[in-house]
Amino acid sequence: MKRDRTSFLGNWLHSNARKPLVIRGARQVGKTWLIRDLADSQARQLIELNFEKRPDLESLFSSNDPKEIVINIAAATRNKIEPTKAILFLDEIQAAPHLLEKLRWFAEDMPELPVIAAGSLLDLTLAKHEFSMPVGRIGYLYLEPLSFEEFLSALGEPELRTYLQNYDWSLTIPTAIHTKSMMLLKEYLVIGGMPAAVLSWSTEKDPDAINQIHFDLLTTYRDDFAKYSGRLSIDRLKDIMNSIPRQLGKKFVFKDANSEVSSTPLKQALELLSESRVCSPVVATKANGLPLGAEVDTKFSKVIMLDCGLSCASLGLSLHQLTSVSEISLINSGGMAEQLVGQILRTVLPAYISPSLYYWQRGKKGAEAEIDYVIQHEDQIIPIEVKAGTTGTLRSLHQFMKEKKKSIAVRVNSDIPRLGPVQVKDSFGTSIEYTLLSLPFYLLGQLHRLIKSAENRTQTTVGN
């Protein structure tokens, strides 16, 4: 299965300004495969060192001289290494984290050798590191599970993917294409984007096999909890991991994870799972300006899982059950729809940006309001509401647009795409006007392009 990040890696490999690259992502999202595929496609010799399997390999890096290090590696691995024709891959580097310091010397003294480091629990290591990171001398790539569009490619639907990538507001999506896209979207909701599950589904189409893969992955994550021993009770980590799918779409309440323990160890458990990228917080922001993270209120957070397929498995939801439900936003009281949207939003950012998710809420008594997601689009703040079909009130969205004086908003639903003006009045008779982009779930991967297209279309209309 080809990944979209492959093009980023190819550009990195051939860049004159290339620096050592650190790949960050959860376990089993395809980091190692991505590097092996890069070496194969570029006809490069891959020198792969796995520090979890071979802790002794760390001793090869005792020097700060890259030439000496390469000589050590060549002798230990019985490989003749030509830096301009090779890729040095430091896998599971969290087992030897201080080696990240060494990357600066490769950047400065041996830039001709491409160096990539990756690790399943690397983010956890970086959050607690006590060594000096080579700031400015390394780059990052953030890898998520497969996006819906990557899922289409893996399932042999490149023509449909191309159609979605070329869709514009001037087009009307035929009912047959809309129906097919929604059917595949529901498959993605249950199968998810973990490479092992997608590969199995693309070749076997066996729901039982997918279920086993998901539970094996969940067990793998739970087994990783043993690596946190000494820092936190494994039971608290299990409490949080089991509770996240049940609390999707709602403010995360620690008492709902375990009412018999204090919130402190549960908060620590959530932080650890977030650092290991098993889950992602969706943090409340005032959304008054950019960056969105400048005005967060960490007391109010929602949480989504790494992958919608893993969420469905945790909730006991099967493909048969979901195909019998006509509206995605009705599943799990709308929680799975927010999981799906949040997961896709994490894939639409450039590879070098760490994905973060935010939402907006106003807690004023008698005038509560909440927007499911707010994102940055260029220099703008865009609210995103996840709604059912073409129905459902947009009261919170109207309130947000009035308070923040914004001109463009997005609604995600299961209907065909629509673009048009909203003109309403609030309870005080004040007019609220803005442009609403209604997007089906399957077009979320084109979100930023379609926002830009809508802006241009609106400006053209105004100009005429």
pLDDT digits (tens, 9 = 90+) for 170-227: 999 999 999 999 999 999 999 999 999 999 999 999 999 999 999 999 998 888 876 7
Per-residue pLDDT reduced to its tens digit, 259-302: 999 999 999 999 989 988 999 999 999 999 999 999 999 889 99
Per-residue pLDDT reduced to its tens digit, 307-361: 999 999 999 888 777 666 666 766 777 899 999 999 999 999 999 999 999 999 9
Alpha carbon distance 435, 422 (integer Å): 6
Per-residue pLDDT reduced to its tens digit, 399-454: 999 999 999 999 999 999 999 999 999 888 899 999 999 999 999 999 999 999 99
* pLDDT at 62 exceeding the cut of 80: yes
Return the closest-CA partner of residue 440 out of 331, 329, 330: 329
At 325 the three-state DSSP class reads: coil
Confidence of residue 366 (pLDDT cuts 50, 70, 90): low
Provide the token pair at 83: 């830096």
Alpha carbon distance 7, 9 (integer Å): 5
Find the mean pLDDT for residues 125-137.
75
* pLDDT at 12 exceeding the cut of 70: yes
At 415 the three-state DSSP class reads: coil
Alpha carbon distance 456, 345 (integer Å): 22
Yes or no: say if 303 and 278 are a contact pair by the CB < 8 Å rule.
no
Beta bridge partners of 377: 380
Encoded amino acid at 433, one letter:
E
Alpha carbon distance 336, 350 (integer Å): 25
Q: How many residues does the chain have?
A: 464
What pLDDT shows up at residue 391? 46
Q: Where are the domains of the chain?
A: 5-142, 149-463
State the angle between helix axes of 234-243 and 263-275 in degrees (0 to 180), rounded to the nearest 10: 70
What pLDDT shows up at residue 323? 66
Beta bridge partners of 86: 45
What pLDDT shows up at residue 326? 65
Find the mean pLDDT for residues 27-35.
96
The rounded mean pLDDT for the chain is 92
Encoded amino acid at 123, one letter:
D
Rg over CA atoms, the chain: 23
CATH topology of domain 5-142: Rossmann fold (3.40.50)
Residues sharing a CB contact under 8 Å with residue 263, sequence separation 6 or more, in sequence order: 254, 255
What pLDDT shows up at residue 393? 74
